[in-house]
Structure 1
Amino acid sequence: MTDQPNVQLKYLWDQVCFSNDIKSFELLFHQLNRNLINFCHTIIHHEHAAEEIVSDVFVACWNKRAELQHVTNPKAYLFMAVKNRALNHVKQYSHLQLQTSLTDEVILVDASNPNSELEKKEFFMKMDGIIARLPTQTLLVFRLIKEDGMKYQEVADLLDISPRTVQTHMRRAIQKLREWLQAYNKRDYFATKNKLFTLLFLFLASWGIRG
């Protein structure tokens, strides 16, 4: 089966590198910018610095686009470029204490019940907090696979670890979320057959996490 998103990215990349197409560059930027920032933020724990690093990577790619015609997987190349700059940033500013923040909030809307909407906000904020507190390498693996849609081998290549290690990190992340979900489920937030309860568990089940 053809990996359509990667095919599209490769087409945009080739348009940039071979045809100097600024529109394709803008599309490439908008498709990957947020994911790259989230990835970078996981390494350096500073939103503004992550945005600057990703911006610098895109500028560098545009400036040397003619030299990048050989790149066959632009997504992997960009993630690797961001990773390298992020690690350099950490080395340069390791003496600074950087603040961490929660990941962007995900909300399922149930307008018919304002109380349930508040419950959902609390649920996902707490879940984001659990994810954000995963060990750095585990968090990187989890986000690259679940948020960026990378394959295990792609993550292994990017982080310079084995696919088995990637699998181990994913298993640990999912186990941590499963344990939290089981503890959360014991609290009296949702009725047993509540529509909201069902939606939340279907959402987490899609990640392979069951209470």
Structure 2
Amino acid sequence: MNDKSLCDEIYFNEFYTSHIQSASNFAYYKSGDKNTSLDLAQEAFIKIWENCAKIDLSKAKSYLFTVVNNLFLNRVKHQKVVFEYAKSSPYIDVDNQSPDYLLEEEEFKDKLKRAIEDLTAGEREVFLMNRIDGKKYREIAELLEISQKAVEKRMSSALKKLRTKIDGI
């Protein structure tokens, strides 16, 4: 019988030591940035520690790489939202704007960013695929391998949450 568990600190440390380099390398290949790759690898190990009881030791390495990949994709989605928002904002002559207006605009951007970050992963994924990538619910359902009704439910939930957190949306 195999008594090894990732919840045992000794085995987790062994797992960490033997896989941190390959996880960091994988993240580097995905991101192209050394600091980002280290952050992604560390975040992945944190998630593994938090979910240690649910992870089969024989599948832990595969789980690690899946988590690194998902964390990377979430970062890319987040950066895309920020970029799209900046791109869609009309050019404003900042020199002629009142400081109050500029402050309000910055606060709104921060509020929107936080509100999107606070959505569940499923809601955020559907919301961004629809609003940023312009995908239809049917396309999203096919990509995520879920029903169109599930996509509609996630989108509805995301919009409700965003409306409550941000006045005027």
TM-score by length of 2: 0.49
TM-score by length of 1: 0.40
Of Structure 1 and Structure 2, the greater helix share is in: 2
